[in-house]
Structure 1
């Protein structure tokens, strides 16, 4: 039976591959210039963090708030693939930002790098490029690129995005199945202008540890049905840890404009104890072993969506990420300020979304959510607790010369008790983001 079973699987895979190779993306190629695109994204961001209870700015040690404003532009060119069995193409990117406001006494929001005198840079920029090859529906890309894997994800939450350097293979040979494998050797931070590795995990003095040397990643996602998908991923970051990820997402249609969605995410991190890692617990435990999972249920009814979520972290320490990309945390309660991933932390979320298109204002949406975390294991300090409330509104222009121009306001109120105050001081976080994407080619 086992031989027959595997023979049938092999036959199905071969048949699927043959079926979709006949009408593959490469067969439909219009050539290097025929499928090219050139896009320009302009972003203006204002960000203010107001620290309460007399806490000074942790970055400057002076005033109790951080405030920056800047404008960035990201020009992204993607060629098509040359025709033939194996297609060849090139991608290129150019990006830069200019500071509009923000002095040395208010620095620290991550919008700009600091110069040698500790003042925010007035401007910054970087270039990048990649070569790519396509065979059937499989693409190999090497060079500078943006990555969105659950175990290695570049961050785009400030003016400029992180940029990874390495090789990524993406295969979509079988309908519904996507496979990814890659090896990356550096990750420039959002304010970095070179290709140096992003700083490693901080040591006990708060200084950056050893940067990323290499990271290998693998991922697979499959659409079992139109309403049920699953994904797995794994990574091995040299000298740091190994990560494993799983996701299951199911949507249950109930009636017209009414559905129930379930989203399960889980991480398992394993690594050796290291002397240069922060001991987040304070009891000398320096391991990075951690289990983190979340389950969210969202009920949609016309313009309204109501979400509840539960998340739990356990293991030797908190969940670590950053050296593998500052967006490498695909769980429900990772929100504007906190990720709610402390050691042994349990957290709950309640969220409400409103789409105003139903009420005659297409493009306008609102969101509010509240997350509370407790049971955090903090040595010699008792139980750590934290909570965060977010409020957000976004409007996207639907037509006319300014089509796709968006305005977004984000607000967060974060608080923690004395036992967990070392994670972040109490603060208010306000952001205004204006973005305009333009398709030039």
Structure 2
């Protein structure tokens, strides 16, 4: 279970409200046309275009298991003990330097970001490590402070096409950084992003290492839900994003996770109407996953999709989402990434074998009532029909799942400072409850999470 998605969910739901148009969404066709301007022709120079910025995030999470113990911790004598609770409190700081692009037909630039984490909660029993929230030694002893180079890359740009080599951040449906902890993950490799057209862009890349959210070094890619003893030496991706209508955005991506799987994604988002009266946002996400190469995780044949309908009236947004997994294994994605662009990926991913799930969510934007920057959200999601009894391979532990079910609800609020010295500072508080049948893997727990992020700029 990825107990990491609550803040991301809340932000995405809030985003639905922000996306609503102040006037009726145009249904006009957008022809494919070459951009009239070139980003490289406007390059200011290596020094002239440089920037130095960053952020500091105070990240606190309090979890309590409501049924059986869900975590373990080591005492100083080396004995391991079960616990019903887990508390993590970390201060994460990012300092990012980005140069400008040099002038000329081909421009060069560099990006370097230093990451630092300070553990504010250091008790072994409280942290219940090792886990991917607070960095600890193998015996669970907390590392009080640690740093690493989170990003380190060079870029070459021609016109509106940029090649990036080194440690970088990616955000695609098949490979995406995850940034909902004190520090985000990143990837090592080479990628190309081309935006030569007004409504059409391309991505291609190859990566061989992952820098996780709570790790000083790097590691190879592994599955989030499959047997992590099996690693992929390379992850290759390619994709296109296309906006055929002013109101319609689409994307198609493929990934090759060497000797684990090939994955294909199609997504579309359409807006209709006027949010001052009533607007409808429709979202479709579909993944096809098949085993590849040496098939280290065994046979995989998985079709998973989600369909959502969001209604917006002024300050109010109501969203209904349905999601279904067609396959005898989990719908899977890469560990410590956010490459699961599905509507019901919440505290639980609702991605069990053959699982069906439904969610209803509500967002209130208080800007309409004179308090810009303040939003509230709540949701309820239920999953049923989880069945792994027909699974024939060995890469996933699902055979004990027979008609399992679970449900989840959450409530949260976000405030973004609108002006002054702390402008764009965000404070986010969420409370989430998850309840599961006996064999459902995510368990029964409550979580309180409070996250404050303060951005800053030096150049």
Q: Same fold (TM over 0.5)?
A: yes
- In structure 2, the CA distance between the partners of 1:381 and 1:41, relative to structure 1 (3 Å rule), is closer
How far apart are 1:200 and its partner, in Å? 4.9
Quote the residue 1:356 is aligned against.
Answer: 366
SS state of the match for residue 152, structure 1? coil
Alignment of 1:46 with 2:60, yes or no, is yes
How far apart are 1:394 and its partner, in Å? 0.6
Quote the residue 1:288 is aligned against.
Answer: 300
| Distance in 1, Cα, partners of 2:299 & 2:153 | 37
Quote the residue 2:446 is aligned against.
Answer: 428
Residues 277-297 of structure 1 show CA distances to partners (whole Å, capped at 9, x for unaligned) of 4xxxxxxxx433211100000
Contact 2:51/2:97, CA 8 A, preserved across alignment:
yes
Quote the residue 1:345 is aligned against.
Answer: 355
Quote the residue 1:27 is aligned against.
Answer: 41
How far apart are 1:410 and its partner, in Å? 1.4
Stretches (4+) displaced over 6 A: 273-276
Larger RCO of the pair (alpha carbons < 8 Å, separation 6+): 2
Residues 20-77 of structure 1 show CA distances to partners (whole Å, capped at 9, x for unaligned) of 3x52111111111222221111000111110112424256643211001110101111
Q: Which 5+ residue runs of structure 1 have no aligned equivalent? A: 1-11, 278-285
Contact 1:288/1:318, CA 8 A, preserved across alignment:
no
| Distance in 2, Cα, partners of 1:237 & 1:255 | 41
Q: How does 1:397-412 map to 2 (within 5 A)?
A: 397-412=417-432
How far apart are 1:231 and its partner, in Å? 0.5
How far apart are 1:381 and its partner, in Å? 5.4
Residues 177-199 of structure 1 show CA distances to partners (whole Å, capped at 9, x for unaligned) of 11000001111211111123255
Quote the residue 1:280 is aligned against.
Answer: none
**Which residue of 123, 129, 147 corresponds with 2:145?**
123
Contact 1:313/1:344, CA 8 A, preserved across alignment:
yes
Quote the residue 1:9 is aligned against.
Answer: none
Residues 196-221 of structure 1 show CA distances to partners (whole Å, capped at 9, x for unaligned) of 325556776xxx31333101101111
Q: How does 1:368-407 map to 2 (within 5 A)?
A: 368-379=378-389, 382-407=402-427
Alignment of 1:315 with 2:337, yes or no, is no
Contact 1:48/1:430, CA 8 A, preserved across alignment:
yes
Contact 1:259/1:300, CA 8 A, preserved across alignment:
yes
SS state of the match for residue 110, structure 2? strand
**Which residue of 334, 339, 342 corresponds with 1:331?**
342
Quote the residue 1:264 is aligned against.
Answer: 284
Q: What TM-score results when the alignment is normalised by the length of structure 2?
A: 0.85
Aligned length: 410
Contact 2:90/2:120, CA 8 A, preserved across alignment:
yes
Q: Which 5+ residue runs of structure 2 have no aligned equivalent? A: 1-30, 75-80, 390-399
- In structure 2, the CA distance between the partners of 1:176 and 1:276, relative to structure 1 (3 Å rule), is closer
Quote the residue 1:438 is aligned against.
Answer: 456
How far apart are 1:137 and its partner, in Å? 0.5
- In structure 2, the CA distance between the partners of 1:405 and 1:50, relative to structure 1 (3 Å rule), is same
Quote the residue 2:437 is aligned against.
Answer: 417
Residues 355-412 of structure 1 show CA distances to partners (whole Å, capped at 9, x for unaligned) of 0011111111001011100011043553110111011101111111111111100111
Contact 2:322/2:358, CA 8 A, preserved across alignment:
yes
Residues 134-191 of structure 1 show CA distances to partners (whole Å, capped at 9, x for unaligned) of 0000000001111101000111121111110011100010111110000011112111
